[in-house]
Amino acid sequence: MKIKRPEFVRQESWRYARLKPNWRRPRGKDSKMRLQVKGWPPLVKVGYRTPRKYRDLHPSGYKEVLVHRPEDLEGLDPEIHAVRIAGSVGMKKRLMIVERAESLGLKVLNPPRVPEAEEVVEVVKPEVE
């Protein structure tokens, strides 16, 4: 699917602790990196771009959909979409979303942790009954 591309790093960021490795284009007149001398890290180029067909996909191959409530799951295709539950959603609603997603056959990319979920289920069940 996606090709492995090199890690593009700032020139000499490995040499100086004060320079973060975040990409900056080398612009110096005598810069070996700008001149693409053998042995120096590669420059960012358009040829490394991901094909349009595979852009914005999760590494699993699904298209991510951010979900805030169980109703947001309606109309999603289990073969194309995967669900990511928003961080602002509480555990009670998170469990409802996971339950609904399983019934629809959707993959949840960030399911709740089991110990926390079990505690919430114990608290919620007496409320329901």
Q: Tell me the angle at which helices 91-104 and 114-128 cross, rounded to the nearest 10 degrees.
A: 100
Can you give the residue ranges of every domain in the chain?
Answer: 1-55, 61-128
- Nearest Cα to 13, choosing from 51, 40, 36, 35? 40
Average pLDDT, the chain: 90
Band of residue 116 on the pLDDT scale cut at 50, 70, 90: low
User: Tell me: the pLDDT tens digits for 74-95?
Assistant: 999 999 999 999 999 998 899 9
